[in-house]
Structure 1
Amino acid sequence: MSEHQFHADHAHFLMSEERRKALPPEKVLSDLDLQEKDKVADLGCGNGFFTIPIAKQTAEMVTAVDAQQAMLDQLRVNVEAENLSNVRYLLSRLEKIEQPDESVNKVLAAFVLHEVDDLDQTLSEIKRILKPGGKTLLLDWKAKETESGPPLHIRIPESDLMKKVEEIGFDSKEVSVSENHYGVLAELPADE
């Protein structure tokens, strides 16, 4: 496990109004262009900050993946409170996702890539579960000092992440997120 993992004891912050103002989920997710028929995986889903808005935008099953059972338990409570029935809970490390090949057409990995032990393997797993023509939105902390967030030495510079996703066959572009966060929107070619 990574030297820095967000602990479930602090999960209340993930659903806070302060975080919603800094990272409005619907605005952030707009880059994924979610449609009603999209099959989506939310990697590092936590307690549902993005999972719940995704589940409200698609009629298909949303696979919520997290390495901590406590986060999935909190997510289940939050999903039930919203009366949603299209969320599948998957306890899994992101380096080996228990998900069939080419089973989703959209993937979100929000503020979790700096926590994985093997970034290259995690990106390969994202590619494996995505259908050709599928998109992934990778969000993380900018590699600069900020008041909150993970330690600077484990943050992934945006240019490094873009290079890695392009090396494994994605087309990618930078998307604007916030002053302290960046996004990489990566798409698999449809003919791959």
Structure 2
Amino acid sequence: MKKHDHSHHKDNFAKKVASLDNMKRREGFPPEELLKQFPINANDTILDIGAGTGFLTIPAAKVTDGLVYALDIDPRMLQLIQTKAEDEGLKNIQTIQKEMKELPLSANSIDIVLASLVLHEINPLSETLQSINQVLKAKGTFVCVELEEGKNERHLPRIASAEMERQLEQAGFEISKKFHPADAIYVIIAQKKQ
């Protein structure tokens, strides 16, 4: 019985991985294109929140010599990222199995924080945005990718871009760029004010 349960969980994980990768690719917005939308310096330290399959972690690690932290609560996702990193010969990725509220990084230590299709799952959002603001260096960059409210056939939780902007400003960010690369997806790039 236990063996059957294990294979069932394994099967679910495989489906989740395929679904995550496909959903992001289907939007027709490659991660490399996203990373070109803001300046990344050669030694920048990057934090990818809810890193999942490493959709952003892997390309980010290729454009900086600094450390890229991949944060996720699922150890299997982090193992997948490690495997991908080894396959690509990337040595600058460090995985962290924690929730955002348990983030073990010191204040003012990160240059860029990435959050792709994860913030709608976090409650309360305001506390998480304040934590992100805290770990960022002064004038550090926060990049948020989310699904726009509206075309939501599956009734998944979503945060409208206007609401995300409001929450970011309340948490001490200044919006520098906002765009919709695909029909139902939005990107907000914001800077920490001080």
Q: TM-score range by the shorter chain?
A: 0.7 to 0.9
Higher relative contact order (CA 8 A, sep 6+): 1
How far is 1:12 from its partner?
2.5
Aligned residues: 181
Closer, same or farther: CA 56–123 of 1 in aligned 2, 3 Å: same
C-alpha separation in 2, matches of 1:171 and 1:20: 30
Secondary structure of 2:132's counterpart equals helix
Q: Choose 105-114 or 169-178, whichever is displaced more.
A: 169-178
Secondary structure of 1:37's counterpart equals coil
User: Deviation string for 1:68-109 (max 9, x for gaps)?
Assistant: 111111111111111100000001112331211111111100
| TM-score, scaled to structure 2 | 0.86
Say whether the 8 Å CA contact 2:44–2:112 is kept in structure 1. Answer: yes
Identical-residue share of aligned pairs (%):
29
Q: Residue 113 of structure 2 corresponds to which residue in structure 1?
A: 107
User: Deviation string for 1:133-187 (max 9, x for gaps)?
Assistant: 100001111112246xx634x1001100100110121101413321111011110
- The structure that has the greater radius of gyration is 2
RMSD (Å), alpha carbons: 1.9
Say whether the 8 Å CA contact 1:31–1:137 is kept in structure 2. Answer: no
| TM-score, scaled to structure 1 | 0.87
Identify, as 1 or 2, the structure richer in helix: 2
Q: Choose 156-165 or 169-178, whichever is displaced more.
A: 169-178
Say whether the 8 Å CA contact 2:130–2:172 is kept in structure 1. Answer: no
Say whether the 8 Å CA contact 2:179–2:188 is kept in structure 1. Answer: yes
C-alpha separation in 1, matches of 2:28 and 2:165: 23
Secondary structure of 1:32's counterpart equals coil
Q: Residue 164 of structure 1 corresponds to which residue in structure 2?
A: 167
5+ unaligned residues in a row in structure 2: which ranges?
A: 1-11
Say whether the 8 Å CA contact 1:96–1:125 is kept in structure 2. Answer: no
5+ unaligned residues in a row in structure 1: which ranges?
A: 1-6
Secondary structure of 1:139's counterpart equals strand
Q: Which amino acid aligns with 2:106?
A: P
